[in-house]
Amino acid sequence: MFDKTPFTLTQQVAQLKQRGLIIKHPRIAEKYLINISYYRLGEYWYVMQSDKENHTFKPNSKFEDVIALYNFDAELRLLLFDVIEKIEISLRTKLIYHLSHEIDPWWFQNFDLFNDSKALVKTLSNLENEITRTKDESIKNHIKKYKDDKRFPPAWKSLEQTSFGGLSKLYGNLKHTVNSKDVIAVEFGAVNHTYLPSWLQSIAVIRNYCAHHSRLWNRNIPGTVKLLSKPPNPWITEPNNVPKQHEFSKLYVHMCLMRYMLNTILPRNEFASRLNNLFEKYPNVDPNALGMKPKWQEEPLWK
């Protein structure tokens, strides 16, 4: 039975020191621990422990390195959130534009266009909740003006309310006979509908980690992605630098796909320089924990 009692800040610092973590300034450490919980920071010092059972630290493990690692991860989340925002807005725009023209403005509630009816019901239920809660004036005015129309507001209004996850599910659930599914894939450099759904699903997962301030550093990303054998746009030329399937759980391959998609949306973006600057700012961070490849900055994808 669990019987541990909560420690005071002073006790937390004392325990870390007793276990071998070097803490030069205990009072400063306490200030960090009152703002960033012991449990959350533990995700970053875990790799510094030589004995995971007794939680003893490797020689020369420093509290300041834990904080540096934590700050690196926080800045990485902000960077990726910014990149994902651009991909999300582009995906939303493409879905609205192409499918509204190919089908009609209410294509997203047309069950004939989708493979999985149950999944669509769930997506529409979530969308209805978002529309009900929204304070967006255009939605409220539409519902007031067209109160006898029991359909959702048209795609260009409704889909502004849904999440990246909802958008990726709508796209992935579309039948392959819908022409816009391939059109959108081509516009993202994905050639056809075979590859893009897995890219969007992985990005949606990472977006949720960013939104909930969860650790990205040294984290296994669930799911898998399909890589193009001959991408039409700049990719990775060094064969050893192309991520292998056993490396798909690392963040690097997913950042490569974000960069690849971002290059089609905003060719002159600063993703590569900002990511490189982040590693330079925190030289003690091990790039291998993210699955980074040697001289990744020199690949055509990142230039």
pLDDT tens across 87-112, in order?
Answer: 999 999 999 999 999 999 999 999 99
CB 252 within 8 A of CB 243: yes
Q: Is the pLDDT of residue 147 over 90?
A: no
Q: Of 3-7, 15-19, 239-243, 245-249, which has the strongest mean pLDDT?
A: 15-19
Q: What is the per-residue pLDDT for 257?
A: 98
Percent of the chain with pLDDT over 70: 100
Q: Is the pLDDT of residue 3 over 90?
A: no
Per residue in 208-259, pLDDT (tens digit) is 999 999 999 999 999 889 999 999 999 999 999 999 999 999 999 999 999 9
- The DSSP code sequence of 47-104 is GGEEETTTTEEPTT-BHHHHHHHHHHHHHHHHHHHHHHHHHHHHHHHHHHHHHHHHT-
Q: Which residues of 187-206 are buried (b: 16+ CB within 10 A; e: fewer)?
A: bbbbbebebbbbbbbbbbbb
Per residue in 165-211, pLDDT (tens digit) is 999 999 999 999 999 999 999 999 999 999 999 999 999 999 999 99
Selection from 271, 279, 278, 280 nearest residue 302 by Cα: 271
Angle 26-28-30 (CA atoms, 0-180°, nearest 5)? 70
Residue 55 main-chain phi, psi, to 5 deg:
60, 30
Q: Is the pLDDT of residue 269 over 90?
A: yes
Per residue in 29-83, pLDDT (tens digit) is 999 999 999 999 999 999 999 999 999 999 999 999 999 999 999 999 999 999 9
Grade residue 4 by pLDDT with cuts at 50, 70 and 90: confident
Q: What is the mean pLDDT of residues 277-298?
A: 95
Q: What is the per-residue pLDDT for 2?
A: 82
Beta strand 49-51 pairing with 56-57: antiparallel
How many angstroms separate the CA atoms of 52 and 292, rounded? 25
Grade residue 152 by pLDDT with cuts at 50, 70 and 90: very high
Q: What is the per-residue pLDDT for 25?
A: 97
